[in-house]
Every structure is written in structure tokens, then in C-alpha cells.
Amino acid sequence: MKLSIVSPVYKSEALLSQLVVQICSAAEKITPDFEILLVNDGSPDESWQKIRELSQSNPKVKGINLSKNYGQHAAITAGVAEATGDWIAVLDCDLQVSPEYIFNFHQKATKENLDIVLGVRQKSGDSYYKKTSSRLFYKAFSYLSNLNDEHIYANFSLVSRKVQQAYLELRERHRIYIFSLKWLGFASGTVEVEQQKRPFGRSSYSFRKLFNLALNISLAYSNKPLKLTIGLGCILSGVSFLAGIITLCRYLAGYISYPGYTSIILTLLFLFGLLFVVLGMVGLYIDKIYEEVKGRPYYIISQTTYERL
């Protein structure tokens, strides 16, 4: 049995040596035949140089360098596509979740005859502010995307080669690896993982990046934003209709002796603003369709430390 371990790398030069040591320690408990695929996602530091050094000193390490920063899930897909193992594990390079869990994942998969094993977060080393903001973010995201309770899943996962082949048949550009695995429908289970503080650096996901990610995934996985705009339009139309009847009755009763130009202008500005919001939402969906139909590759590999098949 061969095991492949895939880890996307971004701004993690200082952690890579420790990451490889811990992965080797975990993988050797399962099988002597394993490979470690480190995918450099256009990292601006010396991560690629470090990956090359590790691949020269350790034949188990294979380096993949993407031509630019395509995003974490594109880097995961690149590693999964290059993996040759019977089982493929995916984990982050920040060491917040120990690679030692690979053994637990494999035990779970073989004992219960599962094709997918996902990690479920139990603790977090983040600050109270980070936890609270993250919880609020994922609640809003879950509501808009129809993906409930997805915030409990870590990127740590283990899949069989059958799942790998099915996943690589997916063609959409906007995807989240864990969501896609769950959509495939194979027999799956979970393992609790403890998430610790980062030993070095901090997350590269800023609020802006998280917002853009949530927006892209919400538009890719759900049409709820469009339904919300329809509902809002119906509510405003109903309120406007009632306000019109009330205004007409007040006019006939003699309570209105002169027109309210200010209220008319404000109402028009509000309705036109709402109209542009709705048109913008439709435009975003059209933009996603445009990106999909262009058919550009999800990622481009510029170089590797091994000979590709």
C-alpha cells in the first residue's frame, strides 16, 4: 500500500523542515512506501527553495511549484492530481493540526471500510476575537451557501484512490476541497482533531480574502443570494403599495396640501440603489459563468523536483 501526503505551501519556509519530519514519523507507522508532495502556491518567500533542498536530502519529498498564486484549494488539487498513492492525505503546512493524525485517519478508513475521512476541529488556539469573528463569518456563509456546519471541518482529510479519480473529474473553478469531497457521496467518516496555535507566523487569510472566498463559494454553490434579492424586492413592493394607499387616503382626506419632493427623491434614490444591487448580484453570477466557459486550466505547474509521468 502506498500513501501520498499533500500539503499546500504559502509563506511557510520556516516550518517546512519540521513539517516533513512530523509527516515522515506519522507515515512510517502506516507503510514504508509513501511520498510527500509539497505544493508551492506562488509563495513570495523562499518556500520553493526550501522545498527543493528538502527534496534533495529526502527522496520521499516531491516539490511542485505553481506558476503563480492560484489559491489554497487550487494548490490542493494540483497535489492530489500528482499523487500516486492508494490513499491520499491532505493537510495544511502550518502544523496547527499534527500530522500524527494521519495514522488515526487511516485506521478509521480501513476498520470501517470508508473512502473519505474528514477531520473535525475540537479546539482552537486562536484568540477570543478571532473565534467570535470566525463563528459569525461561517454562520453567514452557511446561510448564503446552503453548506451547514462546514466550519467544523479542518482541511485535514484522507481519501482513497477511487475518490481521487472522481474528484479530478470535477471541472468548476470555484471550489472548496472538503465541500467537493462531501458532494461526491462516497462512504465517509470523521476523526476529531485538536487545533493548536500556529508555531510560526499567522494566517494569510485576511478579512478581504475571507470575504471574497465566501462570496465566490456562495455564488458557486447556491442561488440563495438571488432568492434573497427577489424576496427583498417583493417586500419593498408591498411596503410601497401600502404607503401609496395610505398617502392617497391622506390626500383625499385633505391632510396633504403640498407634494413632498424630498420624500420622492429619497425614495427614488433608495429604489435605484436597490436596483443596482440586484443587477450587480446577477452580474456576479454571469461573471462566474463567463469564467467557467472560458475553460482555462485551474492551475499551471511551472516546475517540479521530480520527473512527471
pLDDT at res. 240: 73
Q: Give the span between the Cα atoms of 78 and 100, in whole angstroms.
A: 23
In angstroms, how far is CA 123 from the centroid of its own chain? Answer: 20
Q: Which of 47-51, 140-144, 251-255 has maximum average pLDDT?
A: 47-51
Give me the residues paired with residue 169 across strands: none
pTM listed for this prediction: 0.76
Q: Taking the domains of the chain in order of start, what are their residue ranges?
A: 3-204+298-304, 224-294
Using pLDDT thresholds of 50, 70 and 90, give the confidence band for residue 274.
confident
How high does pLDDT run on average in the chain? 83
Rounded average pLDDT over 181-195: 90
- 27 or 269: which leads in pLDDT: 27
- 274 or 18: which leads in pLDDT: 18
Using pLDDT thresholds of 50, 70 and 90, give the confidence band for residue 157.
very high
Looking at 18-22, 80-84, 195-199, 207-211, which range is the least confident one?
A: 207-211
Could you tell me how many helices (H) and strands (E) the chain has, helices first? 10, 8
pLDDT at res. 121: 81
pLDDT at res. 29: 95
Residue 149 has pLDDT above 60, yes or no: no
What CATH architecture does domain 3-204+298-304 belong to? Alpha-Beta Complex (3.90)
Rounded average pLDDT over 47-59: 96
* Cβ atoms 105, 117 nearer than 8 A: yes
Residue-wise pLDDT for 229-257, tens only, equals 777 777 777 777 777 787 778 777 777 66
Residue-wise pLDDT for 96-110, tens only, equals 899 999 999 999 999
pLDDT at res. 294: 76
Nearest to 38, CA basis, from 6, 82, 15: 6
